[in-house]
Amino acid sequence: MRGAAVARVVVDVMLKPEILDPQGQAIARKLPQLGFEGVAAVRQGKRFELELDGPADEAALAEVRKIAETLLANPVIETFEVHAL
């Protein structure tokens, strides 16, 4: 059973700026065809929401950063940000 304090933490994963993003480029090319103007570029990424048993204190956020480095992101080609909701 979960503890009383439950926190949600988000991990946003994006390709590094120097890494080619073909999916983002395809979306950017399609937007004008669909009538959407004014978008210069699109970068595609991933978002993970983790529910923690307990508060999102510094120790918990450090653990989530380890999870992101180990499993959720490829540090060679991706960056990630961790923040509590």
Whichever domain contains 49, its CATH number is 3.30.1280.10
Q: For position 2, what pLDDT does the model report?
A: 52
Average pLDDT over residues 2-23: 90
Cα 15 to Cα 75: distance, rounded to the nearest angstrom: 9
Strand pairing category for 6-15 and 45-53: antiparallel
Q: For position 45, what pLDDT does the model report?
A: 98
Q: How do residues 22-72 score in pLDDT, each as one tens digit?
A: 999 999 999 999 999 999 999 999 999 999 999 999 999 999 999 999 999
Q: Order across the sheet with 45-53: list the strands.
A: 45-53, 6-15, 78-84
Question: Is residue 1 in a domain?
Answer: no
Q: Which domain holds residue 25?
A: 6-84
Question: Is residue 43 in a domain?
Answer: yes
Q: How many domains does the chain have?
A: 1
Question: Is residue 20 in a domain?
Answer: yes
| Other CB atoms within 10 Å distance of the CB of residue 12 | 16
pLDDT-derived band at 5, boundaries 50, 70, 90: confident
Predicted model pTM: 0.86
